[in-house]
Structure 1
């Protein structure tokens, strides 16, 4: 994990493997800031959806005081949301580097639509 300063806040940049390990231990709240359409077509199981275009920093779901890790498709939008959260006074923010594309490239499991049934199914890209 690497860190960077965003004003008075420190942003932690986590790898997909670090996020997966923390999710498995129930230590974080993972928030997906992509659109609902992107989320439906593929998402990390357990991630909460809070689209950046309709959910502001003060409206983000926080679960039981756990650290919050933001992610999007490539890491650009979640970095923008993290910056907005830092400006709103949040501290202890984290962001998944490379976003959902990096998660899939690492061969980690996710939920996608089954094209034959339209139902969600667990899958990997490996």
Structure 2
């Protein structure tokens, strides 16, 4: 794969790299989606306000993008590559794939509105 290609990472690859501290995971969903449920440790940079040239260099940690299904993160990743920010990766299948693999995340306790760890 050339540096100009967007890499597809599986949820398992993302979790392992996140656990090892090797990546910065950036969630490109809306703030509302992020507040309801998110991957612990992910940073929020909504697609609507995303500027590829504002990203830090990837000398210490790789950047991996994710969204709800993989569509928005692919678009943002492609725009990063077009802006000369490479290598770039995104989580294939997005947060839906993460949850389908029964990986832990932060959800919302609907009775209280407070965040809670969800370990399926």
- TM-score normalised by L of structure 1: 0.88
C-alpha contact (below 8 Å) 2:69/2:97 kept by paired residues: yes
1:87 maps to which residue? Answer: 82
Q: What 5-or-longer segments of structure 1 have no aligned partner? A: none
Summarize the alignment of residues 17-96 of structure 1 with structure 2, pairs less than 5 Å apart.
Answer: 17-60=12-55, 65-96=60-91
What secondary structure is seen at the aligned counterpart in 2 of 1:101?
Answer: helix
How many angstroms does 1:11 deviate by?
Answer: 1.6
What secondary structure is seen at the aligned counterpart in 1 of 2:74?
Answer: helix
C-alpha contact (below 8 Å) 1:29/1:62 kept by paired residues: no
CA distance in structure 2 between the aligned counterparts of 1:33 and 1:62, rounded to whole angstroms: 18
Q: Deviations over 1:89-112 (max 9, x none)?
A: 011111100000000000000001
- TM-score normalised by L of structure 2: 0.93
Runs of 4+ in 1 over 6 A off after TM superposition: none
CA distance in structure 2 between the aligned counterparts of 1:45 and 1:62, rounded to whole angstroms: 22
CA distance in structure 2 between the aligned counterparts of 1:63 and 1:39, rounded to whole angstroms: 24
What secondary structure is seen at the aligned counterpart in 2 of 1:70?
Answer: strand
Q: Deviations over 1:51-90 (max 9, x none)?
A: 0101211223567631000000000000000010011001
Q: Bigger CA drift: 113-122 or 58-67? A: 58-67
CA distance in structure 1 between the aligned counterparts of 2:69 and 2:56, rounded to whole angstroms: 21
Across the aligned residues of Structure 1 and Structure 2, the Cα RMSD in angstroms comes to 1.7
How many angstroms does 1:10 deviate by?
Answer: 2.4
